[in-house]
């Protein structure tokens, strides 16, 4: 065989190990951008289902059913009622979890993989083809004083909140006692406003959002058409005054409810795979 010289003046066969190395490394290089669908199927489908409709294998074990991700209706948003969540809203829910439910914080999953899941979630519902709307800005809170809390107490009553949440905020209002349903016609219970964390956490700015933009898919409407931003803050600060120290559960541990079950399901699923 005639000796062939490469541009480097060496035999072309020396390129062979380099080529093999490149081919072997290619999948690893590709793994720098995780495949959202694969991450979803590994971590999320067990509850939310492969299609995202909320009917995963483990869903039957849960009282608070996994969200139907194909509906494109999200509770925890910073955008106006009826609008799609922002990417940050979705990422936040994945990172922080939905406290008290089996959707435990997904802190064991690398951030790049969670971001890939966020992108994948947006393919599960045709609603994401619609244009999104910008987040509603949460104004700075006023100083918490007894006067602001008293104003909030009055607004709480005038805004119809006791009908569902009860006079004392324990989630035992007349409508709650009749038994309420969400948009999927599953039973839903108004939040007990006297304990923390809420499903979206304890940050009062998140509580502001719950009141300001509502929880889509549930009977909780947006009150931004009825209350000014500072009035919403007054109600938030009134609600903070209802919480005694013994009713604040630490968020770095499993919160009572179904978090222990969610944690167990994750471990069982991990062990199987």
| 73 or 96: CB nearest another protein | 73
Q: Token pair for residue 24?
A: 């072997």
Q: Is 19 exposed, middle or buried (0-12, 13-18, 19+ CB in 10 A)?
A: exposed
- b/e burial code for range 181-197 (CB count within 10 A of at least 16 → b): ebeeeeebebbbbbbbb
Q: Token pair for residue 270?
A: 């991990």
Tell me how crowded residue 31 is: count the other CB atoms within 10 A of its CB. 10
Within 13 Å, how many C-alpha atoms sit on residue 210's CB side?
A: 20
Provide the minimum distance between the beta carbon of 36 and another protein in the complex, in angstroms, as a whole number: 27
| 185 or 252: CB nearest another protein | 185
Provide the minimum distance between the beta carbon of 175 and another protein in the complex, in angstroms, as a whole number: 5
Provide the minimum distance between the beta carbon of 99 and another protein in the complex, in angstroms, as a whole number: 22
Provide the minimum distance between the beta carbon of 221 and another protein in the complex, in angstroms, as a whole number: 4
- Residue ranges that bind another protein, judged by CB under 8 A: 73, 81-82, 158-160, 163-164, 174-175, 178, 180-183, 214-221, 223, 225-226
| 174 or 256: CB nearest another protein | 174
Tell me how crowded residue 173 is: count the other CB atoms within 10 A of its CB. 20
| 196 or 199: CB nearest another protein | 199
């Amino acid at each position: 065989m005639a000796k062939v010289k490469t541009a480097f003046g060496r035999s072309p066969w020396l390129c062979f190990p380099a080529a093999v190395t490149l081919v072997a490394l290619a999948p690893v290089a590709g793994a720098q951008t995780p495949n959202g669908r694969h991450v979803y199927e590994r971590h999320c489908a067990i509850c939310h289902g492969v299609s995202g409709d909320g009917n995963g294998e483990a869903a039957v074990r849960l009282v608070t059913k996994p969200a139907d991700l194909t509906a494109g209706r999200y509770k925890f948003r910073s955008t106006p009622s009826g609008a799609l969540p922002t990417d940050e809203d979705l990422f936040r829910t994945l990172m922080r979890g939905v406290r008290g439910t089996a959707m435990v914080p997904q802190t064991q999953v690398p951030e790049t993989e969670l971001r890939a899941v966020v992108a994948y979630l947006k393919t599960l519902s045709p609603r994401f083809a619609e244009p999104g709307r910008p987040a509603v800005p949460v104004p700075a809170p006023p100083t918490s004083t007894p006067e602001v809390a008293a104003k909030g107490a009055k607004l709480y009553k005038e805004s119809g909140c006791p009908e569902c949440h009860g006079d004392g905020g324990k989630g035992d209002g007349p409508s709650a006692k009749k038994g309420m349903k969400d948009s999927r016609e599953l039973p839903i219970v108004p939040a007990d406003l006297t304990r923390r964390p809420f499903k979206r956490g304890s940050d009062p700015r998140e509580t502001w959002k719950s009141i300001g933009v509502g929880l889509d898919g549930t009977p909780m409407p947006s009150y931004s058409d009825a209350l000014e931003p500072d009035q919403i803050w007054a109600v938030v600060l009134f609600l903070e005054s209802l919480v005694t120290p013994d009713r604040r559960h630490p968020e770095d541990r499993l919160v009572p409810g179904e978090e222990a079950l969610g944690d167990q399901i994750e471990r069982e699923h991990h062990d199987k795979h």
